[in-house]
Amino acid sequence: MKAQGMLGALALALAACGGGGGTGGGPPPPVSLPSVDTAPVPAADPGSALPANWQYGGILEIYVRGYQDSDGDGVGDLAGVTQRLDYVRDLGVSAIWLMPITQSQDHDHGYAVSNYREVETQYGSLADLDTLVAQAHARGLGIILDYVMNHSAQTHPAFVNSSNAASNAFRDWYVWSSAHPTGWSIYGGDPWRSASTGWYFAPFSATMPDFNLRNAPTVAWHKDNLRFWLNRGVDGFRFDAVGNLFENGPGAWEAQPENYALMGDVRALVGGYANRYMVCEAPADPLGFGAGAACASAFAFGHHTDVVNAAKGQTGAVAALATYFAAVPASMATMVSNHDSFAGARLWDQLGGDVARYKLAAATYLLQPGVPFIYYGEEIGMSGAASLSGDAALRTPMSWTANPANAGFSSATPFRALSANAATNNVATEQGDPNALLNFYRSMLALRRAHASLARGSMDGASASGAVLSYRRTLGAEQTLVIVNYGSASAAASLSGLTANASYLAQWPSGVGDVTASGSGDASVVAPAQTVLVFLRAP
């Protein structure tokens, strides 16, 4: 256990038992409380090594603990991620999102942060992060960090101080009540937790107390933390749980007006650095955070379900895909699954291992507008761990090889069970197979990288006819045409709005004929069952 964790546990234990007074009945000895690093951090922008709009190339979400172990302790680390940067570059994404790398109470998922300015000990050091950032930038890859503003760890020095006494200088850093508030239920439970000095608000877990973000010093400290990382050259942040930042009563605890205002302030701070990016997690209101002034981007919850259901051949979901980007900005962050079980199982498990439908799901969100996020291992069809449940099943060691002991993740026994299909779905097995998922992902990302219209263009003329989706992507003079047939039989796509008499040259797959529009801009294309077709308008 870290020193500050030991001090925190000691302070909480002493507070819970009234301070542990001596036998003489005198006043208890003073509790030794840990210090809180509140040193101000002025902005010192090192500039950006990345091209403008880099995020639109796609971002790989990496669970550091589960990606690559470099030192043989069975736990992934930052040096391991650095070792795999060539693989990430060759996959074709433009950046990496690192799940929490800061010191945490749980040393696993990392969202119970115990030190906002230090790296989790098992992951390495600040120097290891600096090396990773520099090596990523040398390969044209960005690095964004996970940041948790809503809550900290129960062992965080600020909370240890806050819980010590109502008069403590850090009391207002967290949400406290002297009496137990009633009438509250969040995620099926009471969010108020008992302590010796009152009741604190912690809806996610008793180990993760909520910050009081109405307290100006708390917000200023968070902003200093953000500058601490931005000054080191990271390229932005993914902000956790932005819908939970403020509460206005038992029936008003999510997506409150203050949440949007605060994230707007944060957006201004991040935007004060050159070429940085931020994305917010707000499942209850993705569009509210992603389309307004609050966040530059937000995860497109709901859309990800339509992507998966369309891949299953559900025509209602296909129709929803045709209309989604007519009402939302192209900066929405798209995905098919992530590290949270509430977002769904790994894609392989959702689709029952059907590779053809898996490719349809991947092509759908990699060729549509948005900032696509790929969860590590998705590109090889990693499944969850059969022996685990919940979030742990989704956060297994990366399957690099078919080695049944460690899947190439570590020279030691991995910290957690492997994915159920590691023997068949791994990088080594798929690397040389042109029909494998890995090379399909590489191909879709290469198309996105080669054609700016696929990365950042508008989505025009979107049409759904049964199980067939068609649309155009346009940026300046460049236009691409995409047709996806999610059905189990070939079907014709009737196209309109094309450039009159223009030729559309086949880009994917090989062997498909070109398309020529009529004088009125119409065309009919037969799409084979469960296929994606991509064409580029001839200059």
In this prediction, residues 241-269 reach a mean pLDDT of: 98
DSSP 435-453: TSHHHHHHHHHHHHHH-HH
Tens of pLDDT, residues 76-119: 999 999 999 999 999 999 999 999 999 999 999 999 999 999 99
Question: How many Å apart are CA 485 and CA 468, to the nearest integer?
Answer: 4
pLDDT at 27: 52
pLDDT band of 29, cuts 50, 70, 90: low
pLDDT over 60 at 6, yes or no: no
Backbone angles phi, psi at 115, to 5 degrees: -150, 115
| CB contact at 8 A, 384 and 417 | no
- How far, rounded to the nearest angstrom, does the alpha carbon of residue 496 sit from its chain's CA centroid? 37
pLDDT at 28: 52
pLDDT band of 230, cuts 50, 70, 90: very high
Tens of pLDDT, residues 441-466: 999 999 999 999 999 999 999 999 99
Q: Buried b / exposed e across 315-346, counting CB within 10 Å, b at 16+?
A: bebbbbbbebbeebebbbbbbbbbbebebbeb
pLDDT band of 20, cuts 50, 70, 90: very low
pLDDT over 90 at 415, yes or no: yes
In this prediction, residues 321-334 reach a mean pLDDT of: 97
**Matching residue, tokens 């990693």:** 382
**Matching residue, tokens 């500050």:** 4
In this prediction, residues 264-273 reach a mean pLDDT of: 98
pLDDT band of 322, cuts 50, 70, 90: very high
Question: How many Å apart are CA 150 and CA 244, to the nearest integer?
Answer: 7
The number of residues making up the chain comes to: 539
**Matching residue, tokens 């549509």:** 368
Question: How many Å apart are CA 362 and CA 490, to the nearest integer?
Answer: 20
pLDDT over 80 at 12, yes or no: no
CB under 8 Å to 250, separation ≥6 — which residues?
181, 183, 184, 185
For the chain, what is the mean pLDDT?
94
- How far, rounded to the nearest angstrom, does the alpha carbon of residue 144 sit from its chain's CA centroid? 10
Backbone angles phi, psi at 225, to 5 degrees: -60, -45
- Angle between helix axes 257-271 and 216-230 (nearest 10 degrees) is 30
pLDDT over 70 at 24, yes or no: no
> Which H helix or E strand runs over 468?
strand 468-475
Question: How many Å apart are CA 74 and CA 486, to the nearest integer?
Answer: 41
CB under 8 Å to 435, separation ≥6 — which residues?
none
CA gyration radius for the chain?
Answer: 25
Tens of pLDDT, residues 349-404: 999 999 999 999 999 999 999 999 999 999 999 999 999 999 999 999 999 999 99
In this prediction, residues 408-426 reach a mean pLDDT of: 98
Residue 515 neighbours by CB distance under 10 Å: 21
Burial class from Cβ neighbours inside 10 Å (0-12, 13-18, 19+) for residue 526 reads exposed
pLDDT band of 30, cuts 50, 70, 90: low
Strands 515-516 and 176-177, bridge-based pairing: unpaired
Question: How many Å apart are CA 362 and CA 485, to the nearest integer?
Answer: 13
What percent of the chain is predicted at pLDDT more than 90?
A: 94
Question: How many Å apart are CA 256 and CA 241, to the nearest integer?
Answer: 12
| 525 DSSP 8-state letter | E
pLDDT at 4: 35
In this prediction, residues 25-40 reach a mean pLDDT of: 78
In this prediction, residues 513-526 reach a mean pLDDT of: 98
pLDDT at 101: 98
Question: How many Å apart are CA 466 and CA 499, to the nearest integer?
Answer: 25
* Nearest one of 361, 365, 381 to 373, comparing CA atoms: 365
> Which H helix or E strand runs over 188?
none
User: If DSSP codes are grouped into helix, strand and coil, which group holds residue 162?
Assistant: helix
